[in-house]
Amino acid sequence: MSILIKIAWRNIWRNPRRSWVLITALAVAVFSFLGSVAYIDGFSIQMIDSAINLQGGHIQVSGRGYHKNPTIRTYVPDVARVERIIAENDAIRYALQTTTPGMINSAEQASGVVITGVDPVREVEVSSVAESIIEGSYLAPEGEANEVVMGAMLAEQLNVLLGEKVVLMANDLDNEVGAGAYRIVGLYRTNSSDFDKTNVYLHLNQARNLIGYTAEQASTVTLRLDPGLDPVETAIHLQTTLDAADLEILTWHERSPLLVMMNEMMNLANIFLVIILFTAIAFTLINSFIMVIFERIREIGIMSANGVRPGQVRLMLYLEAVFIVLLGTAVGGAIAVVLITWWSAVGLDLSAFAEGLSSFGAASVLYPYIHWGHILNGFVMIFVLVLLAVLYPAVKASRFETVDAINHV
């Protein structure tokens, strides 16, 4: 084996120009693959983060049927018990919300919105809205004032400024229209333009008053998990612990099937990318290796005469291919990792496509992300494709008749 490794390695450098062309082609393909995967993964992560940060955390607990039909009549039963059980796990942060569709009115405009009541102290631990404030401040910790926080785009649409008042209207549990005037204390801007145009935040108690909830009622409990805690496993555990048939405990995967599907499609796109890029490379490899074996027919014959078995001839050619792939991967991978690490720090400004990206919940500055699992899968596929590419020349080389090979001119 060691002699075959030695021969394979030295064979690569018999024609350095040809080897470097192959290595460079592989390096470019690996770089393109890693760059694309990193951007796709970065985009995917931003969308998922948006969904988790703005729309219900990792897990959301609600009354059964709330997800399909989110009305104020479906609320979390015995929310105090739910809170108590969730609070037992230190790795989970949670906050209560009331949510209702309603209208927001300024002096000039009106718009349909989702009115969410939150406990500002707890909410900042499960939602990124407070971090997205670009003007003013988030709701004050004490929840008595008539304060509202809204998207800057919505404020623009309503033609209102920070500090001005708006009127919020919503139906209460008795189907009576409740209304109140609220002063705008903060304007936020998130990655999602749709979200910014349709969501306003009040103090939890203010919202409860608006829709006729008692101080013990809430529409949802949003959970944010510490890293390392799996949402699916945690949801299953909670389901068992809470043991309430009238509760609905959903992870973000279950609440956002479209997002999950998009994520899967992006992973599929990664696979197609690898196949397309490396199929092209595979044909270059096939061509090169056919040239290689025709140049070395006599040598292969001599090796065979001296006792090298057909399988060892194939192994030797495979080793050459593997060395070339390793070199190409190392060169392309090193350049890609350095550049992606830099891009992931500074981001890629895609302001020109900001509107389109925003509709997907992605920011106009994309931060590529190196997902080692996806990269490993890609590399496995590269190796499989390359080994498949070298299969034909390797089998051909191992089937030369020894006597013909030795006499080959």
Partner 1 sequence: MSDHSIESRSASLATDGPKPIDGQAPLVEATRLVKIYQDKEHVPVTALNEVDFRAAPGEFTAIAGPSGSGKTTLLNLIGGLDKPTSGSVVVAGQDLAAMSRNQLATFRLNNLGFIFQAYNLIPVLTAEENAEFNLLLQGVPAHERHEQVVREFEDLGIDKELIHRRPAKLSGGQQQRVAIARALVSRPKLILADEPTANLDSKTGARLLDKMRNLNERTGITFLFSTHDPMVMERARRLVILRDGQIAEDDVRG
Nearer to partner 1, 177 or 395 (CB): 395
403 binding partner 1? (CB under 8 A) = yes
DSSP letter string, 27-71? HHHHHHHHHHHHHHHHHHHHHHHHHHHHTTBSEEEEETTTTTS--
Residue 308: CB minimum distance to partner 1, A: 6
291 binding partner 1? (CB under 8 A) = no
Q: Residue 317 is encoded by which pair of tokens?
A: 């050619």
Nearer to partner 1, 192 or 398 (CB): 398
Residue 398: CB minimum distance to partner 1, A: 9
Residues in Cβ contact with 78 at an 8 Å cutoff, skipping those fewer than 6 apart: 244
Which residues is 82 bridged to in the sheet? none
Residue 323: CB minimum distance to partner 1, A: 13
110 binding partner 1? (CB under 8 A) = no
Nearer to partner 1, 1 or 346 (CB): 1
Q: Which of residues 340-359 bind partner 1 (CB under 8 A)?
A: none
Nearer to partner 1, 262 or 322 (CB): 322
Residue 409: CB minimum distance to partner 1, A: 10
Separation between Cα atoms, residue 215 and residue 206, nearest integer Å: 10
Instruction: Give the residue, chosen from 65, 141, 311, 356, that forms a contact with partner 1 under the rule CB under 8 A.
Output: 311
304 binding partner 1? (CB under 8 A) = yes
307 binding partner 1? (CB under 8 A) = yes
Residues in Cβ contact with 282 at an 8 Å cutoff, skipping those fewer than 6 apart: 385, 386, 388, 389
Instruction: Give the residue, chosen from 215, 257, 306, 352, that forms a contact with partner 1 under the rule CB under 8 A.
Output: 306
299 binding partner 1? (CB under 8 A) = yes
73 binding partner 1? (CB under 8 A) = no
Which secondary structure element, helix H or strand E, spans residue 148, and what is its range?
strand 147-151
**In one letter, which amino acid is 305?**
A
Separation between Cα atoms, residue 287 and residue 323, nearest integer Å: 17
Separation between Cα atoms, residue 24 and residue 16, nearest integer Å: 12
- Name the residue among 247, 223, 227, 249 with its Cα closest to residue 236: 249
- Name the residue among 137, 152, 125, 148 with its Cα closest to residue 52: 125
322 binding partner 1? (CB under 8 A) = no
Q: How many residues bind partner 1 (CB under 8 A)?
A: 23
Question: For binding to partner 1 (CB under 8 A), which residues are involved?
Answer: 2-3, 6-7, 10-11, 14, 298-299, 302-311, 401-403, 406
